[in-house]
Structure 1
Amino acid sequence: MSEPVMLFKKPSYPVNKSLLEYLKRFDRISEVSIFYEDLLRFSGSVSVYDKSDQDTLWVRVYYNEYEREEIDLNLKKIYSLLHSDGNLGIIKFLNVDSIDYCTFGNSKPFRIKIRNILNDNYTHFYVKKADASRIYGLELEHILSPDKINFLVYEDTLIEEHILGIAGDFFIKNLLNKCTETEKAQIAKEFVKFNERCMIRLLGDMRSYNYVIVPIHDFDQVVYRIRAIDFDQQCYEGNFKVYRPQFFKENYPMVKLVKDKLQDSSIQQYKDEERAVLAKRILSAENRIKKLLKIMGQDFLAPDAHVQRLKMELYEYTNDLNFKKSKSMGNIMIAAFDFIIRNYKNINLLKLKV
């Protein structure tokens, strides 16, 4: 099958008042006044190279001394808000080791490295321009995925925690062939579930460099998980294939792994398992989901042509009239979640009758 084509660069959509009120309700608003534009006022930069001496396309930026002191203080405060209760007492133990700027991609983020001077442990977070699509994607990831995620918004600036893991493209190229056959089968299972999760919640463009592989060491095995790290393409494209990672050429080795390791019955089983888990998560956070989807339903997240195409492709895929009636990307999300929940409840009803 042909690879999905993304014809246009997605614009950044503003965060409306209703979404800001929602974020405030769920403690997503930063109390620290730092703007993305503040970090753009760097006075110089040098290229950042990886361990193989390859240019990463990130640059390490520098600031005038009188600006750097205030920037460092605010970044330490943000770290405290992200990772603790905002306690300023820890600031004296923190150091801003580096501020890197990404020269490619849509969001052009700043990557901040914060180190604890007492034990040399360090972590990263990102500062980006706030984009409504990305915020909806992050919030849905927090509610519906197996993993929670921290982020904060300050007016038109987004602060996003670093997601640990091995870049998917690096893992596929350098580590996948070194996995045991059992591990490969487990990775194939996880990719099926990841593919289903992205499709249902309309998270697009999950090429191999937009997700990470997370190895988890159990007492007698290594279990692998797949986590999205880029939420820019939440509910934007009209092409349904964009929301299905299996159709991207960068993921072909994973798709081949699924074909080689899993029977069709197993693939369907794992899809059903993921749909059931998603339905349970939607129901367990029903009030929060309803609040978010109501705001999404009234927000402008994509051109009307994208909405019209996507809702018809989903109608053809599911035969569910709710998709056909949708008037916005948020309405399509409501229809998708309703479809999953109805199927989950119907399956459980059939089990009770049996």
Structure 2
Amino acid sequence: MSEERLMSKKKPAYPVNEQLDVYLDHYNRKIEIPIFYEDLLRFAGSVVVYDSNDEDTLWIRVYYSEFDRKEIDISLKKVYSILHSDGSNSIIQYLNVDAVDYCTFGNSKPFRIKVRNILNDNFTYFYVKRADASRIYGLELEHMLSPYNLNFLVYKDTLIEEHIAGIPGDVFIKEFLPKCTESEKAQLAKEFVKFNERCMIRLLGDMRSYNYVIVPTHDFDHVVYKIRAIDFDQQCFEGKLKVYRPQFFKENLLMVELVGDKLLRDSVDQYKLEERSIVAKRILSSGNRIKKLREICRNDVISTPENIEMLKNQIYELTLDMAFKKCKNMGEVLDLALSFVRRNYEDVSMKQIIENKIPGGR
């Protein structure tokens, strides 16, 4: 299936409603920042950014007039301080904005800001984007339901996201995967299965290889690989269930083939079960926070009627749970999908407890 048929041509940005705004304020995600996304669009010109192989990265490096540059520089340094420190001006004198890049490809068209500490030459990135309710739901769900915490800020129509470090999936597949040992390939296959399952459970779509990173960690005498999403624009918007399963994107074909080569069917099923159980545990441990977010999402508009109708029917075909047929919006579909995973986990756990208590139970 081609990408054009699998994905909508363009997803609209959905506004942050009053309930979500209150939620963000309560959990310290809503903080006044000194610059807006629209301010960064005032650039006077740009040059193409090429990678080390002289290939177009689809980012352009923008520059501003002398008057705007001074104001934008100090504002971006303040944003860095708010995002990564205590928000005071004390560290600003040690910071330099090395680059402001603008992505011309994709839906969100973000700005990527490179900030360097002039005392030691360490640098990091953060992103400035238009605030979009579905993206914010995606970020919050990733924060609660994945192994990773996320740092982001929202103020009016602007979203600030920290950089997620790792090797872009498309780069890893092309340049690093062929050099991996057989053991490392088996581990990557396992992680792709778990990543695929996690995306489907929480309805995170469009995980093509350039929308996630591979994170290598050295552990004693070997390297451990993890797969981490970096783009949350397509959180429960699309109607096709396949969009929420990375295995169906052609960019991930080599990873899918790796799973087929390295894992037995029983192992794949085991890793899926492990991931569903881990997500269920995180739902339970997130307590009131995820309950509040799910309630807000149930009363929000983050997709089209056509997509809602299509997805709820396709999930029903997968689960045979009639409750999906009754969903009226995408927030209800998401809420029910998370409830389905949690409920199955609790039912299995209770069954195991009963079997262990009953004489003769195994």
- Does TM, normalized by the shorter one, top 0.5? yes
The answer for the alignment partner of 1:311 in structure 2 is 312
Whole-angstrom CA distance in 2 between matches of 1:199 and 1:286:
21
Q: What is the Cα deviation at residue 162 of structure 1?
A: 0.9
Matches within 5 A, 1:15-30: 15-30=16-31
The answer for the alignment partner of 2:358 in structure 1 is none
Matches within 5 A, 1:29-108: 29-108=30-109
Q: What is the Cα deviation at residue 319 of structure 1?
A: 0.9
Gaps of 5+ in 2: 356-362
* 8 Å CA contact 1:207, 1:251 repeated in 2: yes
Whole-angstrom CA distance in 1 between matches of 2:9 and 2:303:
11
Whole-angstrom CA distance in 2 between matches of 1:54 and 1:168:
17
Q: What is the Cα deviation at residue 152 of structure 1?
A: 0.6
Amino acid at match of 2:129: K
* 8 Å CA contact 1:190, 1:226 repeated in 2: yes
* 8 Å CA contact 1:33, 1:154 repeated in 2: no
Deviations, residues 282-327 of structure 1 (Å, cap 9, x unaligned): 0111211111111111111111111011001101100112211111
Whole-angstrom CA distance in 2 between matches of 1:305 and 1:47:
38
Q: What is the Cα deviation at residue 220 of structure 1?
A: 1.3
The answer for the alignment partner of 1:146 in structure 2 is 147
Whole-angstrom CA distance in 2 between matches of 1:8 and 1:325:
28
The answer for the alignment partner of 1:328 in structure 2 is 329
Amino acid at match of 1:319: L
The answer for the alignment partner of 1:131 in structure 2 is 132
Q: What is the Cα deviation at residue 84 of structure 1?
A: 1.7
* 8 Å CA contact 1:46, 1:61 repeated in 2: yes
Whole-angstrom CA distance in 2 between matches of 1:240 and 1:54:
33
The answer for the alignment partner of 1:158 in structure 2 is 159
Whole-angstrom CA distance in 1 between matches of 2:112 and 2:257:
34
* 8 Å CA contact 2:49, 2:56 repeated in 1: yes
Deviations, residues 99-142 of structure 1 (Å, cap 9, x unaligned): 11111111111110000001000000011111111111111111
Whole-angstrom CA distance in 2 between matches of 1:8 and 1:97:
34
SS, match of residue 234 in structure 2: coil
Does residue 295 in structure 1 map to residue 296 in structure 2? yes
Q: What is the Cα deviation at residue 2 of structure 1?
A: 7.8
The answer for the alignment partner of 2:235 in structure 1 is 234
TM-score if structure 1 supplies the norm length? 0.98
- RMSD after superposition: 1.2
* 8 Å CA contact 1:144, 1:281 repeated in 2: yes
Matches within 5 A, 1:223-302: 223-302=224-303
* 8 Å CA contact 2:8, 2:238 repeated in 1: no
Q: What is the Cα deviation at residue 12 of structure 1?
A: 1.0
* 8 Å CA contact 2:196, 2:247 repeated in 1: yes
Amino acid at match of 2:141: L
Whole-angstrom CA distance in 2 between matches of 1:50 and 1:274:
35
SS, match of residue 292 in structure 2: helix
Amino acid at match of 2:118: I
Whole-angstrom CA distance in 2 between matches of 1:125 and 1:7:
28
Amino acid at match of 2:204: L
Amino acid at match of 2:330: M
* 8 Å CA contact 2:37, 2:128 repeated in 1: yes
Q: What is the Cα deviation at residue 67 of structure 1?
A: 1.5
* 8 Å CA contact 1:2, 1:247 repeated in 2: no
Identical-pair percentage: 66
Matches within 5 A, 1:109-124: 109-124=110-125
Whole-angstrom CA distance in 1 between matches of 2:44 and 2:255:
43
* 8 Å CA contact 2:168, 2:212 repeated in 1: yes
Whole-angstrom CA distance in 2 between matches of 1:204 and 1:295:
20
SS, match of residue 223 in structure 1: strand
* 8 Å CA contact 1:208, 1:250 repeated in 2: yes
The answer for the alignment partner of 2:190 in structure 1 is 189
Amino acid at match of 1:160: E
Whole-angstrom CA distance in 2 between matches of 1:342 and 1:135:
25
SS, match of residue 344 in structure 1: helix
Gaps of 5+ in 1: none
